[in-house]
Structure 1
């Protein structure tokens, strides 16, 4: 029995970030479930729209679809487990499952930055080199960029995932409601020098360099657009503004995650839980709203879709 208990202590960890869960369990569950359904419906609607409408089968909209798909995967990595925990008496998970959730969490976060960098490159070619656009942004180029955006972040995170799999735990309570980088603090090894150096290397490759590339690219677009006609300037603003809004919001949220999780800044449990949820709540809901309202073609097709939906409902009611 003692042997089994020891094995459980090593294998299982507890989420210690929930605030008054016993008192507000049902409220938390309903709110979280509602948000998850909204995320699925909003992102899936635009994804299906891009898939169905042939006029949206262009690189720019394909990259937007990839970004929305990334948001769906990102949310599904967190919400189902979180919903189960909200209804459970014990909020526990295995150490290996927690490390895998953190791996998916940061892989998809890295993919978000790389996809935004790819979208910036696409806009640069479209606005600054319009005559060469079809030659440069061919189907094979688009496919290659999408594959790299998803493969590169996960590939860089595989070594620490494998190396840390067998590490012994000295702490079995995670200060959070889902698994992120804080899981490394549970290991007896802690954050060793090589681990920190590799983490900084990965952060530079998947976050800092894409961020600098995006800022440089959009700066170049604005400079070139300013020299051209007002129509070109308007087109540049309409197509680039949504991407920049998504970039700024996601960068702020990721900065919080890095600062709090890695530097172990002491925050009240309520504030920590609220800020942690912002990372998995704001962006997946923000993306479809921004692209649905700001991208003219998507907005036009969405209006047509909802108009048909209302007409169908009215027709059905009149038929009855």
Structure 2
């Protein structure tokens, strides 16, 4: 293979017969992700009483999970059963685009969920005027288009680099690993990468933190009944946020700061957490916690029998 035209995914080397175990687990996990998130989307789509901003954003989160895992699992399962693990540069950049678009979209959707709860709890009288269907549609469109535009530009910058190596120490195509293989000047890539991280990760997380602090302050000054209702709608979002934030922190830390001396098995598990755990955990948390969604899912299951 011509150097710089194909990449080789090194972590699939010498895994022996354990590949069949990983393949079986991968099939089970991917099917579970598709099933759980499809139920959430169908329940919210079919039940008119759930056509509210909070539930629509939950459906967006499930759709984003399907979007991101579709770029990861089929390729992973193919590589597990293949004897060759070469991937073309174009296909690699495309996979990186979809995976990091998923991660960025997840963060901006969580920011919109925090904003929705902030308005509902801190400005209840203005909620219907702020969270109109039109405003919600615009916010959702921006939360998808902007991260994907940023990740797309980063991919174009990476595609312009001259490669002096082709060995990727990952089980998927990773933007930073691709940049590290370059023998070109990568200052533009690094600066733009920092800009993308700031605007799609740090700024949304800062706004989310601000929103929940304001909510907490309001709750401490309110009646026990109001406080209980507020906590009931916010806790699932906080659980999802903490889980995703920890997963992203692990991925960023491993890719930027951890050397090859780090145990390979643990490195793989931690780096894949953001692609596996949130897509499974999100629908379970929302499906079990919100009775409206749970009842509709049960109705769908019964109707399908």
Do structure 1's residue 129 and structure 2's residue 123 form an aligned pair? yes
CA distance in 2, matches of 1:251, 1:29: 27
How big is the shift at 1:303? Answer: 4.2
1:261 aligns to 2:255 (yes or no) = yes
Q: Distance between the aligned counterparts of 1:299 and 1:233, measured in 2?
A: 23
Hey, which bits of structure 1, 4+ residues long, moved more than 6 A? Answer: none
Q: Which of 80, 84, 95 pairs up with 1:90?
A: 84
SS of corresponding position for 2:252: helix
| Greater radius of gyration (CA) | 1
Q: For residues 235 and 91 of structure 1, what CA distance do their matches in structure 2 show?
A: 51
Of residues 211, 218, 225 in structure 2, which corresponds to 1:217? 211
Q: Deviations over 1:187-230 (max 9, x none)?
A: 2227x333222211111110111101111101111211222222
Displacement of 1:258:
1.1
Number of aligned residue pairs: give it: 303
Structure 2 unpaired stretches of 5+: none
Identify the residue that residue 34 of structure 1 maps to in structure 2.
28
Q: Is the 8 A contact 1:14 1:174 kept in 2?
A: yes
How far is the alpha carbon of 1:296 from its aligned partner? 3.1
The answer to whether structure 1 residue 59 and structure 2 residue 53 are counterparts is yes
Structure 2 residue 273 is the aligned partner of structure 1 residue 274: no
Any stretches of 5+ residues in structure 1 without a counterpart?
Answer: 314-320
Match of 1:316 in 2: none
Distance apart, 1:35 and its partner CA: 0.5
Q: State how 1:1-320 maps to structure 2 within 5 Å.
A: 5=1, 8-18=2-12, 20-181=14-175, 182-189=177-184, 192-266=186-260, 267-306=262-301, 308=302
Taking the aligned partners of 1:173 and 1:19, their CA distance within structure 2 comes to 11
* Structure 2 residue matching 1:22: 3-state secondary structure: coil
- With structure 2 as the length reference, what TM-score do the two structures score? 0.94
Q: Which stretch has the larger CA shift, 215-224 or 38-47?
A: 215-224
Contact 1:222 1:236 in 2 (8 A): no
Displacement of 1:166: 3.5
Deviations along 1:152-187, whole A, 9 cap, x unmatched?
111122323222213222111100111123222222
Task: Tell me the alpha carbon deviations over residues 253-300 of structure 1, each in whole angstroms, 9 at most, x when there is no partner.
Answer: 111111111234332222222222222111110100111112232233
Between the aligned partners of 1:212 and 1:91, the Cα distance in structure 2 is 40
Distance 1:112 1:93 in 2: 26
Separation in 1, partners of 2:206, 2:81: 43
Distance apart, 1:89 and its partner CA: 0.8
